[in-house]
Amino acid sequence: MSHDAEARIGCTTDKSTLASVTAFSFKHLSLSLSVDFATKEIAGTATWTVIVAEAAEALVLDTTAGLAVTAATVNGHTVECRSLAPHECLGTPLAVPVPEAEREPGNELTVSLTYSTSPQSSALQWLPPAQTAGKQRPYMFSQCQAIHARALFPCADAPTCKFTYDAEVTVPAWATALMSAEPQGGPQEVPAGDGSTRRFAFQQDRPVPSYLVAVAVGELGSKRVGPRTTVWAEPCMVEAVAWEFGETERFIATAEDLTGHAYDWSRYDILCMPPSFPYGGMENPCLTFATPTLLAGDRSLANVICHEVAHGWTGNLVTNHTWEHFWLNEGWTRWLENRVLTRLSPHGEELYNFQMQESLTHLEEAVSQFGATSPLTALVPPLDGIDPDDAFSAVPYEKGSLALLNHLTSVAGGHAKFETFAKAYIAAYARRTLTSADFRAFFCEWCGKEGVDCSGVEWEKWLLEPGMPDRAMQAEASRDPTRSAEGVYDYPDTLGAKATQLVERWVSCPEGQFAAEEHFLESLLARSHKAGAPLLPLAALQRMDELYQLTATRNAELRCRWQRVCLCHRAAFIVPEVVDFVATVGRMKFVRPLYRELFAWEEQSAVAVRTFMQHRDGYHPICSKMLSADLKLDGKSAKKQRT
Ligand SMILES: CC/C=C\C/C=C\C[C@@H](O)/C=C/C=C/C=C\[C@@H](O)CCCC(=O)O
Ligand SMILES: [Zn+2]
């Protein structure tokens, strides 16, 4: 491998932070915060315990232009902080002077900062009552991944800086506060308070990186659904959420068995978010944030909860060293998610093979979105000067998991063998971070001990080459006797084959006989939507809708895929349905392709822009920024300065 390639896959320099991540070791954070819905601000103190690693005149922390630090002390000495030059997409670093007498390497510093967030903080969404299910109370939640923690509290906003934390959060008396930590009892009176507020305390004694600090405040209810799981939601949603996510303990126990590592976090609670939540789920430790678009009513979308559970090992315990190595978080989590679901499914390995083909579709869509030569389609993309939000796609998930890890499964000699590797990998890197080079070295060392020949793995191609994986490259090293020789994607996909045959029947004979009950409908639609797939006649679409009730479905995945198929076929009847859907949810996985495809339809382009302008304030700041770029409404790019 070339020197440059080695440098990239072993890159430990974090291009997404401006903080002093090497000169200081960040041990513990204490937060004391008050949440003010009237001003849409969080105010209070962030107190860091750090150890000096290298003598330095100042401790530099990540913040943003809108995060105002009004006072600072270092080991009790008052100091004057200084904002350094703002960066186009990494925020505004803050220099905290270290008194000369405190600069000795090994010295422990207590750095206390009094600060407040901006109403425009990109880490927070403040929702009016109208945007909640109950319509009575406002709601606030954070989303820090990848680099928004700096808009919530001054920090070394880098995955390699893992720290424990405690917090106390003061909120209105009607509200409940939750964090990515263990609650310390119920709400407490505010000392000398007037009864209009109350306080919640939290403790996270497992080290976490800044992107996994999370807070949510709203009118919330809860229900226990397992030995270590309570679901939280607005009161009118609790019963439906509790039922939908009732399998959670099975996911956790199966993942423990697969990884050979007990679940490291004290709890696995789930907070069902308001519809504007921009992602399917966020793996905040102890408290997954989940979109309400998972509430299909039949548990068919609970795979996302399985994914977030899996992050308890891959991502939250074993963590990417920098965002260039994000595939180690997401590729491994998609692998663990699918191995858990395969273990629990009556279809067994047939489900895994089916998921593989679905993954191929998602990967093809993601690669075509960026363009097959885009560096952002490499498994380890260059992120110099790039906002990770702009680099985000399904590539690290699908190319990382059901391509590279599946390829290495073949090299290792099949699933059972690779699962023993996974156990060794998690045991070796628990509570640590690693680069892609570390991963390669560990895999090759394991192969050496196991007598597995991994000399044929073309690491530079797999890790650095943009575009779709080279199928020939996979075939050359495929050794798994249960598979055809052609390559990792050629597993016998019996479940998917039925969907493909069904699409062919709909295309060739739309007036034919079809069963009303159809499994894997989403796959059927995805296969009819693949680039190059033959167009379905309008009559077929209308008949499919009558038979499968796709326009009216409660299943958000089906609803989105169906609307995209109809947009692709220029079926005008779907436009009002699309407008209604994007007006009611804010999950980017759905609203971004729908807006893009409506915008790409010339006659409907103005509808897309008008709809966005009407609803933009209801979307999460990250979503609003991405949609603005998708619709070419923000000039050059979406790299706006953080606030
Ligand atoms: C190569 C990209 C490098 C870094 C990107 C890291 C984070 C990007 C930032 O936008 C945060 C992403 C958070 C994702 C959270 C949950 C996803 O797993 C779900 C995504 C799709 C869905 O809605 O289901
Ligand atoms: Zn994930």
Residue 157 has pLDDT above 60, yes or no: yes
Residues tagged in the binding site annotation: 143-145, 278-283, 307, 311, 330, 587-589
Q: Which two tokens stand for residue 550?
A: 């796709």
Instruction: Let me know whether 479 and 363 are in one domain.
Output: yes
Q: For this structure, is 458 an active site residue?
A: no
In a domain, 127, yes or no: no
460 with 549, same domain: the answer is no
**pTM as predicted:** 0.94
Q: Atom 8 of ligand 1 has which residue's CA nearest to it? A: 389
Q: What is the mean pLDDT of residues 259-285?
A: 97
Q: Name the pLDDT band for 490 (thresholds 50, 70, 90).
A: low
Q: What confidence tier does 374 reach under pLDDT thresholds 50, 70, 90?
A: very high
The domain boundary residue, chosen from 458, 483, 508: 483
Interval 377-393 mean pLDDT:
96
Question: Residue 74 above 80 pLDDT?
Answer: yes
Distance CA 220, CA 359 (A): 36
The residue among 112 and 2 whose pLDDT is bigger is 112
Shared domain check, 198 and 58 = yes
What is the signed CA dihedral for 46, 47, 52, 54, rounded to 10 degrees? 20
pLDDT band, very low/low/confident/very high, at 517 (cuts 50, 70, 90): low
Which bound ligand lies closest to the C-alpha atom of 306? Answer: 2
Residue list for the binding site for a peptide = 143-145, 278-283, 587-589
* Tokens (6 digits) for 642: 């953080």
In this model, does residue 173 exceed pLDDT 60? yes
- 604-610, long-range: CB within 8 Å, 24+ apart, which pairs? 604/575, 607/575, 607/579, 609/633
Instruction: Decide if 410 is inside a domain.
Output: yes
- Tell me, yes or no, whether 451 and 524 share the same domain: no
**Which residues have CB under 6 Å of ligand 1?**
145-146, 279-282, 304, 323, 326, 381, 388-389, 391-392, 396, 587, 589
Span 221-247, average pLDDT: 98
Tokens matching residue 472:
């020939």
The answer to whether residues 454 and 580 belong to one domain is: no
Distance (angstroms) between ligand 2 centre and the Cα of 469 equals 21
Q: Give the domain range for residue 375.
A: 320-483
Binding residues for Zn(2+): 307, 311, 330
| CA 80 – CA 355 distance, rounded (Å) | 55
29 and 165, same domain (yes or no): yes
- Dump pLDDT digits (tens) for 281-294: 999 999 999 999 99
Of 182, 234, 308, 324, which one is the catalytic site residue? Answer: 308
Q: Is the ipTM of this structure higher than 0.85?
A: yes
Domain end among 483, 515, 542? 483
Q: Which residue CA neighbors atom 15 of ligand 1 most closely? A: 282
Give 394 Cα–ligand 1 centroid separation in angstroms.
8
CA distance to 397, 506, 565, 566, 569, per residue, from 542 (Å)? 34, 11, 12, 10, 12
What's the pLDDT at 478?
43
Phi, psi for residue 593 in degrees, rounded to 5: -65, -35
Residue to probe by mutation, ligand 1, list 392, 395, 590, most atoms within 8 Å of CB: 392
Mean pLDDT, residues 56-72 taken together: 97
Identify whether residues 365 and 440 lie together within a single domain. Answer: yes
Residue 343: inside a domain? yes
Q: Is residue 221 part of a domain?
A: no
Q: Is residue 465 part of a domain?
A: yes
Helices (H), 465-620: 471-476, 494-508, 521-529, 538-548, 556-568, 575-584, 588-600, 605-615
The residue whose C-alpha atom lies closest to atom 7 belonging to ligand 1 is 146
- Nearest residue CA, atom 6 of ligand 1? 146
Q: What mean pLDDT is reported for the chain?
A: 92
22-26, 160-164, 420-424, 498-502: least confident range = 498-502
pLDDT tens, position by position, 458-468: 999 999 999 99
Question: How far apart, in Å, are the Cα atoms of 296 and each of 240, 302, 431?
Answer: 10, 9, 35
Of 316-330, 345-359, 369-383, 455-469, which gets the smallest average pLDDT? 345-359
| Residue 492 domain-assigned (yes or no) | no
Residue 68: give its domain's CATH number. 2.60.40.1730
Is 397 known to be catalytic? yes
Express as a percent the part of the chain with pLDDT over 90: 81
Same domain, 476 and 521: no
Q: Which ligand is nearest to the CA of 331?
A: 2
Whether 151 and 199 share a structural domain:
yes
Tell whether 459 and 600 lie within a shared domain. no
Say if residue 456 is in the same domain as residue 566: no
- The domain that holds 624 is classified in CATH as 1.25.40.320
Any idea which residue has 């759905």 for tokens? 590
Q: By mean pLDDT, which of 143-147, 189-193, 444-448, 639-643 is the weakest?
A: 639-643
Q: Report the domain count for the chain.
A: 3
Domain end, chosen from 160, 182, 204, is at 204
Domain-embedded: residue 449: yes
Ramachandran angles phi, psi of 71, nearest 5° = -160, 150
- Whether residues 501 and 416 fall in one domain: no
Q: Supply φ then ψ for residue 411, to 5 degrees.
A: -60, -40
Residue 278 lies in a domain: no
Confidence of residue 476 (pLDDT cuts 50, 70, 90): very low
How much is the pLDDT for 210?
Answer: 98
CATH number at residue 336: 1.10.390.10
Tell me what percent of the residues of the chain surpass a pLDDT of 70.
94
